Amino acid sequence: MQAVLYASLEQLALVGFDRLSIPGVAAAVGANKTSVYRRWPTKEELIKDALRAAMSHSEEATGLGSLRADLMALAQTLAEFLHSNAGRAIIRMLLNDGDNNELRAIAIAAYGDVSRQAAWITLEAAVHRGELKSAVAPTTLLFTLAGALIHRVLVERAVASPTFVEGVVDMLLHGAATQNS
């Protein structure tokens, strides 16, 4: 069934949420549409599971014992995801269909169920270890990291290399200003 989830993201990127259909996804993978409907009665449920599966990579990139190591792993995992077909499909879909409230709710639910939880646990552990100020908003830190990577890959059309990732993480951790500023 992984093929169905992957095909649903590809179809989503190609035709958008409104034109996406379960029969179209089933045809793309050579599956019987009844089998797909049995598992996912609505396209909303199919896309929610596809997004969850596509973003499950972030769970593996946490709990390394230091804030820098955790942020490096999260950033590198996100960079690899953004360079993948599924990652590009998801970002394009969110950018193209971002004003679709139903789709946005599905994406937020999938993101909140997977990536947020792992990242939040990572940041909470860093606060407890004394590596991160408790006043730092997790969303600001994580969205700044993600925003830099998304910009690099989708706007600049450049590779988010390990050196680039390391530079972004270090800037987040140490800031850009000198001590005298």
Quote the pLDDT of residue 122.
82
Ranges of residues in the chain whose predicted pLDDT is under 50: 114-115
Q: Which two tokens stand for residue 9?
A: 């993201």
Helices 85-96, 101-111: axis angle to 10 degrees equals 140
pTM: 0.74
Nearest-angstrom CA–CA distance, 64 and 59: 12
Q: Which residues contact 36 (CB under 8 A, 6 or more apart)?
A: 4, 22, 25, 26, 46
pLDDT the model gives residue 33: 94
CB 165 within 8 A of CB 75: yes
Whether residue 149 contacts residue 58, with contact meaning beta carbons closer than 8 Å, is answered with no
pLDDT of residue 178: 72
State both tokens at 171. 């800037």
pLDDT at residue 115 in the model: 47
User: Is 164 buried (19+), middle (13-18) or exposed (0-12) by CB count in 10 A?
Assistant: middle
The domain spans of the chain are: 2-174
In CATH, the number for domain 2-174 is 1.10.357.10
Coil/strand/helix, residue 173: helix
